[in-house]
């Protein structure tokens, strides 16, 4: 199976699963990323919205693993877009 790393610039709206985390209680949470701040994802799950810290988890989707390198993701979404310019 080839794992594809999705762009770190377009996370809002993606269906994800928490595949690994320092906090084992949140592993397996599934849902859509509905909001993102500098340090947190808000994931809309079947049981409501969950706030997930970016720096402790690894996300995956149907295409493979989403990069969760804290140097890339611990920024606000618009700050990551400014890096492209």
Confidence of residue 85 (pLDDT cuts 50, 70, 90): low
Q: Is 3 helix (H, G, I), strand (E, B) or coil?
A: coil
**pLDDT (tens digit, 9 = 90+) per residue, 44-66?**
999 999 999 988 888 888 877 77
- 57-61 and 64-66 as β-strands: parallel, antiparallel, unpaired? antiparallel
**pLDDT (tens digit, 9 = 90+) per residue, 6-54?**
455 578 888 999 988 899 999 999 999 999 988 899 999 999 999 999 8
Among 62, 74, 50, 44, CA closest to 6 = 62
Cα distance between residue 28 and residue 20, in whole Å = 8
Domains with residue ranges and CATH for the chain: 15-84 (2.30.30.210)
């Amino acid at each position: 199976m080839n794992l594809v790393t999705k762009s770190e610039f377009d996370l809002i709206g993606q269906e994800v699963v928490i595949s690994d985390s320092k906090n084992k209680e949140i592993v397996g949470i599934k849902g859509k990323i509905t909001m993102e701040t500098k340090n947190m994802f808000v994931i809309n799950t079947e049981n409501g919205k969950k706030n997930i810290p970016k720096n402790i988890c690894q996300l995956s989707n149907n295409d493979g693993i989403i990069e969760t390198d804290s140097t890339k993701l611990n920024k606000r979404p618009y700050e990551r877009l400014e890096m492209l310019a």
